[in-house]
Structure 1
Amino acid sequence: MKKLLAGTVAGLAMLAIPAQAQAQDAKGAIQVKLLGTAVLPDGKITEVKTDIVGLPAGTQTEANDNVVPTLAIEYFVSPNFSLETICCMTQHDVDAVSGLTGAELVSDAKLIPATVTAKYHFDLGGAKPYVGAGATYFLWVDVDPGEATLPLGVTKTDLSDEFGFVLQAGFDLPVNDSGLAFSVDAKRYFVGTTASWYAGDTLAIQTEHDLDPWVLSAGVAYRF
């Protein structure tokens, strides 16, 4: 009987260990990050679809870089797997770098890069690196014609909203046992846009662009 009782207690103890581990894993399921983020887009023309103005041969463009604050919210489905979304708005100009060198073609284009990624975390004891991938939707909320386009009679500029793909890597470095960490993150987006310039109701220029920005972030994280 004693052996049976001891065996039963041992068995219950073994069953309790996974239960305790699951209870611990259930803690800290949410992580919030406040980051400083550098958005480094490309913006090059890949195709000219409409041109009634007569752009110089070899005209090429580039979007300027920007640094913005970013809020990231992450949910841990398991100790190693999480889902993350970010919230930010970034603003860019598009200038010609050849053909019309220095001409501002798009002014103060405001972008919300709605992004969701799935991440896998590696536990190295200290730093916790991760890799991830996901989808994005580039939503342009305000776009103005560039100064150089106004003498051409341009009254409206539009950048199309587009879906895209994103790859991600980074690490979280715990600072204490209370959930505070230092975080570094890098994303590469693969997404384009169609740029259209109108003179009144007439489509004057329409071009396809690769944006494909690098988005590099660093800041603090808190998991609770």
Structure 2
Amino acid sequence: MKKHVLTALAIAAASLVSTQAFAQAKEGPWMVRARAVSLSSANTDSTGLGLSVNDIVLPEVDFSYFFTPNIAAELILTVPQQHDVRLNGNKIGTLSQLPPTLLVQYHFNLNGYKPYVGAGINYTKFTANDILGGAVTTDGSSWGGALQVGVDIPLSGNMYFNFDVKKVLIGTNINAGGNSLGSLRVDPLLVGVGLGWRF
């Protein structure tokens, strides 16, 4: 349902773009975007316990620097995310994570529309977890790859409408009594819509 709402917002915002919007003011090398993001977890559990975390909607901010008109680096930041941890659908605790991501992007220019692709790396810090009263724990952090595709659509001046999709590899070991029970791969698909400002 959340994906359908985000897609509808993207179509509605894109329909507002007129030919006059393509006349952009002089743009600098920086771009800032703010998005609302729907996070859908892959929930691949190798413990055999039927573990999963819930899907959420979260705010996201990114900062991009354009080295050339086509090549940019993007740092993606968000607030700490708290998930319910479930065992066969029943909540058994919570898991909090903070997942900054750094990507290198290639931007195209198609008559004012600016689609892009990106690839990079994610570092996730698991800041706190409370699973079965602390009897079950996770690793403190994880590293993984990230892939991205999106588009910036000019609105007016240096403002853009942004639609963005990312796949980020995030996982952690599940431990109990000092022993690893296996891993839980969150590996979220992130679908976001928002606004960007180039300066």
State the TM bucket, normalised to the shorter chain.
Answer: 0.7 to 0.9
Q: Which residue does 1:41 correspond to in 2?
A: 41
Q: Which structure carries more relative contact order (alpha carbon 8 Å, separation 6+)?
A: 2
Q: Which residue does 1:139 correspond to in 2?
A: 125
Amino-acid identity (%): 29
Which stretches of structure 1, 4 residues or longer, exceed 6 Å deviation after superposition? Answer: none
Once residues 156 and 211 of structure 1 are traced to their aligned partners in structure 2, the CA distance between those partners, rounded to angstroms, is 17
Once residues 136 and 41 of structure 2 are traced to their aligned partners in structure 1, the CA distance between those partners, rounded to angstroms, is 22
Question: In the alignment, residue 91 of structure 1 is paired with which amino acid?
Answer: Q
Q: Which residue does 1:90 correspond to in 2?
A: 81
- Structure 2: gaps (5+ residues): 1-25
Contact 2:138 2:172 in 1 (8 A): no
Say whether residues 1:61 and 2:60 are aligned partners. Answer: no
Question: In the alignment, residue 154 of structure 2 is paired with which amino acid?
Answer: P
* Corresponding residue to 2:70 among 75, 80, 87: 80
Residues 111-166 of structure 1 show CA distances to partners (whole Å, capped at 9, x for unaligned) of 11110000001100132100010001111111112xxx34xxx5463344111001
Q: Which residue does 1:222 correspond to in 2?
A: 197
Q: Which residue does 2:60 correspond to in 1?
A: 70
Question: In the alignment, residue 168 of structure 1 is paired with which amino acid?
Answer: Q
Residues 156-188 of structure 1 show CA distances to partners (whole Å, capped at 9, x for unaligned) of 633441110010000000101x21010011000
* Corresponding residue to 1:121 among 91, 104, 107: 107
Once residues 155 and 194 of structure 1 are traced to their aligned partners in structure 2, the CA distance between those partners, rounded to angstroms, is 14
Q: CA deviation at 1:31?
A: 0.3
* Corresponding residue to 1:157 among 116, 137, 148: 137
Say whether residues 1:174 and 2:154 are aligned partners. Answer: yes
Once residues 77 and 86 of structure 1 are traced to their aligned partners in structure 2, the CA distance between those partners, rounded to angstroms, is 17
Once residues 169 and 136 of structure 2 are traced to their aligned partners in structure 1, the CA distance between those partners, rounded to angstroms, is 26
Q: 1:206 to 1:105 in 2, by over 3 A?
A: farther
Q: CA deviation at 1:44?
A: 2.4
Using structure 1 for the length normalisation, give the TM-score: 0.71
Q: CA deviation at 1:205?
A: 6.1
Say whether residues 1:29 and 2:20 are aligned partners. Answer: no
Contact 1:160 1:194 in 2 (8 A): no
Say whether residues 1:188 and 2:167 are aligned partners. Answer: yes
Q: Secondary structure at the match of 1:28?
A: coil
Q: 1:169 to 1:32 in 2, by over 3 A?
A: same
Q: Which residue does 2:93 correspond to in 1?
A: 106
Question: In the alignment, residue 171 of structure 2 is paired with which amino acid?
Answer: G
Q: Secondary structure at the match of 1:175?
A: strand
- Structure 1: gaps (5+ residues): 1-25, 49-57
Contact 2:136 2:174 in 1 (8 A): no
Contact 1:117 1:135 in 2 (8 A): yes
Q: CA deviation at 1:27?
A: 4.1
